[in-house]
Amino acid sequence: MTGAAGIEVDRADPALGTPRDTVVLATAPIASARYFVAIEDLEAIDGCTSGERNHNVRADMTLRVLAGGGAVFSVGSIAWSSCLPHDGYDNNVERVTWNILRAFLEDELEPTTIG
How far apart, in whole angstroms, are the C-alpha atoms of residue 55 and residue 12? Answer: 12
pLDDT reading at 113 higher than 60: no
Q: Is residue 40 part of a domain?
A: no
Arithmetic mean of pLDDT, 15-33? 93
Positive or negative CA dihedral for 96, 113, 63, 33?
A: negative
The boundaries of the domain holding residue 85 are 14-28+59-113
Q: What is the mean pLDDT of residues 47-76?
A: 92
The total number of structural domains that make up the chain = 1
Q: Does residue 87 lie within any of the structural domains?
A: yes
Whole-number pLDDT of residue 1 = 46
What is the pLDDT, as a whole number, of residue 114? 55
DSSP track, 36-85: B--GGG-SS--TT-BTTT-TT-EEEEEEEE-TTS-EEEE-SBTTTGGGTT
CA–CA distance, 74 with 69 (Å, rounded to integer): 17
Report the SS3 class of residue 86: helix
Could you tell me if residue 69 is inside a domain? yes
Whether 52 is in a domain gets the answer: no
Q: Report yes or no on 92 lying in a domain.
A: yes
